[in-house]
Amino acid sequence: MTSFLIFLAIIAAFVFWAISIYNRLINERNRVRNAFAQIDVQLTRRYDLIPNLVEAVKGYMKHERETLEAVINARNSAQQSLQAAKADPANAEAIKKLGASEGALGAALGRLFALSEAYPDLKANENMMQFQEELASTENKVAFSRQAFNDSVLSYNNTAENFPNNIIAGMFRFELASFLEIESDEKRDVPDVSFT
């Protein structure tokens, strides 16, 4: 009888151990989703600013229609990627596509702002200056939100990959999440330094 009770105690301990690991994985995955919700808020704000920016620029940059269309197309693509990623923030492929489309949007906006330098009236326009300031502020918020998201992804992935958690994660098909990396040309450029 005592050996049977010991056996039941071992089984009960194993079940409680498995349940605690499962719950921890769920908590970590929910933290990833919550962190992504913060990114969603900031990116949506950014996407909402872009059509107004394009409208403010349109009157000055009549000959730059390709650039304006590229910004709108990049915005629409990024917005679609955001919707796909919002459905499951732990989906690595959706997060990678979002990062790529955000990089393309950043590049298109960079070209727009570079071209705006050639239009002194546009540079001095109050609306343009306000949109640039709001976009810069939003970019900073996106960066902070992305950092929090990536920290949550790291914690979730560590929890899912550590032994013995990886056994439970594998049994219940907890997929690893992907970091949100927004590639930009500026990040890769090496500044020229001269000491002459």
Kindly report the three-state secondary structure assignment for every residue of the chain. Answer: CHHHHHHHHHHHHHHHHHHHHHHHHHHHHHHHHHHHHHHHHHHHHHHHHHHHHHHHHHCCCCCCHHHHHHHHHHHHHHHHHHHHHHHCCCCHHHHHHHHHHHHHHHHHHHHHHHHHCCCHHHHHCHHHHHHHHHHHHHHHHHHHHHHHHHHHHHHHHHHHHCCCHHHHHHHCCCCCCCCCCCCCHHHHCCCCCCCC
Share of the chain above pLDDT 90, in %: 61
Tell me the two tokens of residue 43.
Answer: 């990116």
- Minimum mean pLDDT among 17-26, 58-67, 148-157, 165-174: which range? 58-67
Report the candidate in 170, 30, 21, 23 with the shortest Cα–Cα distance to residue 90: 30
| pLDDT score recorded for residue 184 | 61
Report the candidate in 71, 76, 70, 65 with the shortest Cα–Cα distance to residue 131: 71
Determine contact, residues 43/142, Cβ cutoff 8 Å. Answer: yes
Average pLDDT over residues 18-27: 95
pLDDT greater than 80 at residue 135: yes
Angle between helices 126-161 and 2-58 (to 10 degrees): 160
- Mean pLDDT (the chain) is 87
Domains and CATH numbers, the chain: 31-181 (1.20.1440.20)
Angle between helices 65-87 and 2-58 (to 10 degrees): 160
- Minimum mean pLDDT among 45-49, 166-170, 182-186: which range? 182-186
